[in-house]
Amino acid sequence: MKQYLEKLMNRENLTLEEMKQATAASFSDHITDSQLASFLTALRAKGETPEEIAGLASVLRSQSTQTTDMPMRVMDNCGTGGDGSQSFNISTTAAFVLAGAGVPVAKHGNRSISSNTGSADVLEHLGISLSFMKEHVEEMLTEASIAFLFAPNVHPGMKRFMGVRKDLGIPTIFNLIGPLTNPVHLDTQFLGVYRRDMLSLLAQTLHQLGRKRALVINGADYMDEGSLAGDNHIAMLDNGNVHSFTLHPNDVNLPVHDNDAIKGGDAKDNARILMDVLSGKQGAYRDTILFNAGLGLFANGTASSVHDGVRIAAESIDSGAAMEKLQKLTEYSKKIAKEAI
């Protein structure tokens, strides 16, 4: 670890392989918490590169108990969190809409960290298991086009870093890494980030991780989701090339809604909002999901444009297909719970 610390202290970037080696070494008992804290702090002070972020993410993914490569094109729409918006569970709700449109979604998520309610909290309230094993994930992706991966279950090795991060009390590379460590191989991704200055860098990181196509978004008011409050800043990865653009809700024939209109609450409140949206209830919550699912469908390549994606998302909801995906995941959770008794 010492050689990598010296490079970082000299403001030299680590190569992809060096970052992989440093991350792998971090799991060793020979590396102390103070060394690990110094490493994370030095990375933050220098500024992380796509190679460094990709190196860390690839090792964490390889350490997962559920690393798998599915025979179909799979995507995730998990965001980094950290925007402080206290919105409802946008990406979780949108995941069912994407699946209802025929896109296999391996939804990676956790309990609440920076918001009132995390994806795991609301799904648990809806009766969905947080204990899916690798074979369950593979079966659900094949049969229902959606599966949920609870981060602490699939990344037990992350405990090594949690105490250090807590003691540091400052943002580190780990505040960006969550959506990049999905153990299911992803061909495409829709990633929300709370830092607008990281858009292009994270798009390049996704390329390093093998994504063929992706959108990285920072919404109006710096949300880590697509926002209907104004301009959304987006970096698009397509066949190794990254280009940036902005998108306003009016560009895709959606109304403007202030971010206060999509506030969430506790798990019970957010579960109700999710059910209302999938049941077809009109309003700001639905419009926000149409926007985010539309962006996801465009990122995946299912839609030829975001406008086309919004149309497909509406069909997924109004046909009942999105709700059917939720019901299948709930029923499957009950099934595996009975088998475990």
The verdict on whether residue 82 carries a ligand-binding annotation is: yes
The verdict on whether residue 195 carries a ligand-binding annotation is: no
- Taking the CA atoms of residue 255, residue 258, residue 264 and residue 265 in that order, the dihedral angle to the nearest 10 degrees is -150
The verdict on whether residue 92 carries a ligand-binding annotation is: yes
Rounded distance, CA 93 to CA 51, Å? 32
Rounded distance, CA 44 to CA 29, Å? 23
| DSSP 8-state code for residue 12 | P
The verdict on whether residue 113 carries a ligand-binding annotation is: yes
The verdict on whether residue 89 carries a ligand-binding annotation is: yes
The verdict on whether residue 110 carries a ligand-binding annotation is: yes
Q: What number of other Cβ atoms are within 10 A of residue 179's Cβ?
A: 26
Residues 6+ apart with CB under 8 A from 135: none
3-state helix, strand, coil in the chain (%, to 5): 55, 10, 35
The verdict on whether residue 309 carries a ligand-binding annotation is: no
CB 295 within 8 A of CB 311: no
The verdict on whether residue 119 carries a ligand-binding annotation is: yes
The verdict on whether residue 292 carries a ligand-binding annotation is: no
CB 220 within 8 A of CB 232: yes
3-state secondary structure of 273: helix
Rounded distance, CA 180 to CA 108, Å? 9
The verdict on whether residue 111 carries a ligand-binding annotation is: yes
**Residues facing residue 125 across a β-bridge:** none
The verdict on whether residue 230 carries a ligand-binding annotation is: no
CB 207 within 8 A of CB 240: yes
The verdict on whether residue 87 carries a ligand-binding annotation is: yes
**Residues facing residue 213 across a β-bridge:** 188, 238
- Taking the CA atoms of residue 290, residue 140, residue 145 and residue 327 in that order, the dihedral angle to the nearest 10 degrees is -50
The verdict on whether residue 81 carries a ligand-binding annotation is: no
The verdict on whether residue 196 carries a ligand-binding annotation is: no
The verdict on whether residue 177 carries a ligand-binding annotation is: no
The verdict on whether residue 135 carries a ligand-binding annotation is: no
The verdict on whether residue 317 carries a ligand-binding annotation is: no
Q: At what angle do helices 159-168 and 33-46 cross, to 10 degrees?
A: 70
Q: Which residues are annotated as a binding site for anthranilate?
A: 79, 110, 165
Q: Which residues are annotated as a binding site for 5-phospho-alpha-D-ribose 1-diphosphate?
A: 79, 82-83, 87, 89-92, 107-115, 119
Q: Which residues are annotated as a binding site for Mg(2+)?
A: 91, 224-225
Q: Which residues are annotated as a binding site?
A: 79, 82-83, 87, 89-92, 107-115, 119, 165, 224-225
